[in-house]
Amino acid sequence: MRLKKHLLILTLSCLTATMLADSGIYICGHFRRDRTRTVTALKASGFTFGILFNVHVETDGTLTTDGEVICKDGQYVFDQKVAGYPNDIAQVNYVDDVNALLSGKTSLLRLEHCIGGWGNHAYKNISDLVNAQGTGPTSILYRNFKALKEAIPVVIAVNNDIEHDYEANSQSQFHIMLHDIGFKTTIAPYTNKSYWDSFVAKVEAARPGAVDRNYLQIYGGGSSNNPQNWKIGNLPVYGSRDIEANPGLTHQEIVTAMNTWKSNAGIVGGFYWNYNYDRDLKKFAAPVNEVFGGGEVADRGSIVAMVYPVKDYKAPQTDFVLGSYTKAQLQTKGFDVSKLASLRIKEGVKIVLFSADNFLGDSVVLTADVTDVVTLTGLPAVNSLRVLADNPGELAGKDFVIKNKQSSFVIKPSRNGTATTIYQMLPDDTDYSFWTFEQVAHGLYKIVNKGSERVLQTVNTNEANYVHDGLLVIQSLYDGSSNQHFIVKANGDDSYKLIPYSSMKYIGMVDDKQLLEKMPPVQRRLSSAPSTDWLLIPAEEISGTDTQLAESLFNVYPRLVSELLTIESPLGDVAVKIVDVNGRVVMQRQHINGSVDVSGLSAGMYVVLVEAGGERGFVKIVKR
């Protein structure tokens, strides 16, 4: 972390949250079962929040859904098959799918988990576990829900949809624990108002502000509910309709109901039960948005910073995408900066805190997580802030060859033209081997091919929507989308990471293809993959092609070889890898300055990668 210190004598006034109108829907198992369509449909729906239904708590504290195991023994295991659970499936895409709902072009702003529902006795199990183990860090409930929060931190709340087994004492203790882990609480009552009054009062007495919404069920068993009679504490109330039982509800019927409750009871938004099979989501979001506003689909990039009112991240966070936030905008987000206690920052991002509104006054720059801000000297009270890419500014406006440090190939258009495909290849002496780094908003870069005038981007498909691993990297016309903007992070040596803002992952190569020519770059989950390191070689340092550079430093012959391949270099001993057409390293030798016996190789074409004195090169050979 870098901290720029400035003297500050200003005082921060407290911020008051401004309530935003919302439209939402319970998102059931259909989300996972038909993920290639549901992720895209939800992002384009016009709904502003979604409640993921549901997380079931088993008698031993294991978290499941539809018989599939989410968290067990304090570990997130939804991405693997767990023995002993016959209905379990490895949901390897779930985290990316959930993150995708809030990333890139989307109307969604908030996600919650739900516990409970009709016929569900999770809260009976919760009460038993709280009474037996408590809610401390060693309890199974704490460990499993902490694992869930750490696996999917963008899910901000847990919805209490208890419909059986009401017991406010133990259940309020459970939700106090959830607050300390980092979850807000919302409620979904339909009956037993005395329970809800008691439950909310107990949680709020211990953690003021922990409960922030009342999703009143005005359908099914609660169809006769009137929002006027369901004021609980100071919670904003949301009206509701059931489109599972009444899918034929018309636009005007929904508008009329919402307007009546808005006028007579002051509801602030509406929601539906449920999305559990294909339906026209836009049809149902539209009438709620007509009454309350909102629902626009916008490219929001990716959540890159999380700010907490308690140290050690033990409270629900406020999320930030890249941007500049005045005092009024912070109030709209419900962020009371006077309670700033800890924060998390994604790799390659910085937060600039300003003592005055509109980005004036003294400032502090933070570039890494802070567990307790009181330990920082020179930290000002805050009245505005910016969340920016922490890009190396010296790249702006310059041309570079982008060379993969692992393979020594460069990325360029496949046929020196405007086709979308790009590959790692040998460079040539045309403009198609060069990319210009142009700075855009929030410190990001767009990376423009000098020959084609197209920009580097991750492909945008309906299924992937920018986020998933293995997405191809292509070139395309510039439209300003977040998948065309990059954070460029210096590794501390001579290489860089290229991080698409839309996903905050890493551009690299597929493992079993990373040493092959004419392979497309892709998006990778882990920065530890060696193919995610890129050399940015300035145009003025390039003379000729890498093949010529290799031949000036490495003499490899004969190129049509039967037995002995000679490798010589003025740099001294050479490290050698020989790679077949499938990308497999078939021979590897160290400290070579002479001949290598390749007689054992099968006939065919190979790439010989050579390295010495910090220089790399490669040549093609044919074994006969």
Q: Higher model confidence: residue 6 or residue 521?
A: 521
Higher pLDDT, 334 or 204: 204
The CB-side HSE value for 494 (13 A sphere, CA atoms) comes to: 11
Question: Element (H or E) spanning 124, and its range?
Answer: helix 122-133
* 500: its two tokens: 């698409």
**Domain covering 546-623, topology:** Immunoglobulin-like (2.60.40)
- Percent of residues, the chain, with pLDDT higher than 70: 93
Fold of the CATH domain 394-492+503-541: Trefoil (Acidic Fibroblast Growth Factor, subunit A) (2.80.10)
pLDDT tens, 285-301? 999 999 999 999 999 99
DSSP structure string for 10-74: --PPPP-PPPPPEEEEEE-THHHHTHHHHHHHHHTS--SEEEEE--EE-TTS-EEETTEEEEETT
| Sequence spans of domains, the chain | 22-293, 305-389, 394-492+503-541, 546-623
What pLDDT score was predicted for residue 580?
A: 80
Tell me the pLDDT tens digit for each residue of 456-490.
Answer: 999 977 655 678 888 999 999 999 999 999 999 99
How far is residue 325's CA from residue 353's CA, in Å, rounded to a whole number?
Answer: 10
DSSP state of 379: P
CATH topology for 22-293? Answer: TIM Barrel (3.20.20)
* Whole-number pLDDT of residue 476: 96
d(CA 405, CA 585): 16
- Whole-number Å distance between alpha carbons of 598 and 588: 11
Is the pLDDT reported for residue 439 higher than 50? yes
Residues 6+ apart with CB under 8 A from 370: 1, 342, 343, 376
Q: Tokens 């369901």 — which residue? A: 230
- Segment 336-365 shows an average pLDDT of 92
Stretch 143-167: mean pLDDT: 97
Strand-strand pairing, 410-413 and 422-425: antiparallel
Task: Please tell me which residue, 441 or 614, carries the higher pLDDT value.
Answer: 441
The total number of residues written for the chain in this structure: 624
The mean pLDDT value of the chain amounts to 90
Q: Please tell me the predicted confidence (pLDDT) of residue 552.
A: 66
Q: For residue 269, what is the DSSP state?
A: E
pTM of the model: 0.85
- The CATH number of domain 305-389, selected from 3.20.20.70, 2.60.20.10, 3.30.530.20, 3.30.230.10: 2.60.20.10
Distance separating alpha carbons of residues 185 and 180, to the nearest angstrom = 11
Confidence of residue 10 (pLDDT cuts 50, 70, 90): very low
User: Quick one: CA torsion of 214, 174, 153, 46, rounded to 10 degrees?
Assistant: -20
Give the integer Cα–Cα distance in Å for 228 and 265: 5
